[in-house]
Amino acid sequence: EAQVTQNPRYLITVTGKKLTVTCSQNMNHEYMSWYRQDPGLGLRQIYYSMNVEVTDKGDVPEGYKVSRKEKRNFPLILESPSPNQTSLYFCASRGGRRELFFGEGSRLTVL
């Protein structure tokens, strides 16, 4: 089954404690992206990757890092999380059909 898998789905952490949210897709898509969803703001792009070792900033990259060492994986790294990064995060991938496929979401709370 074609899917985008994110882990963890739910996480509560404390300010400053590094964390990684993993994202994996099994559709051989070249393009992958991270979004955060906040009430009233819709989805805002954090980072995206056009292919392995190619990443670029989206609209709200501050406080986040990404890496793309393999085509299927695109982890999101919060080196020093802060409360304003409390949000719902979605990973997505895109292939030749030009639509985005989304993961189930990861709800992060930073205390």
* Minimum gap (Å) between residue 85 Cβ and another protein: 19
85: helix, strand or coil: helix
Binding span for another protein by CB under 8 A among 14-22, 62-70, 76-84, 98-106: 98-106
Q: How many chain residues are in contact with another protein, going by CB under 8 A?
A: 21
Establish if 34 lies at the interface with another protein (CB under 8 A).
no
Establish if 1 lies at the interface with another protein (CB under 8 A).
no
Find the binding residues for another protein in span 44-83 (CB under 8 A). 44-45, 48, 50, 58
* Minimum gap (Å) between residue 7 Cβ and another protein: 14
- Using the minimum distance from each CB to another protein, give the nearer residue, 17 or 57: 57
Interacting residues of 69 by C-beta distance below 8 A, sequence separation 6+: 52, 53
CA angle 8, 84, 11 (to 5 degrees): 15
26: helix, strand or coil: coil
Phi, psi of 84 (to 5 degrees): -75, 0
Interacting residues of 51 by C-beta distance below 8 A, sequence separation 6+: 30, 31, 68, 71
Binding site for another protein (CB under 8 A): 31, 33, 35, 40-45, 48, 50, 58, 90, 94, 98-100, 102-105
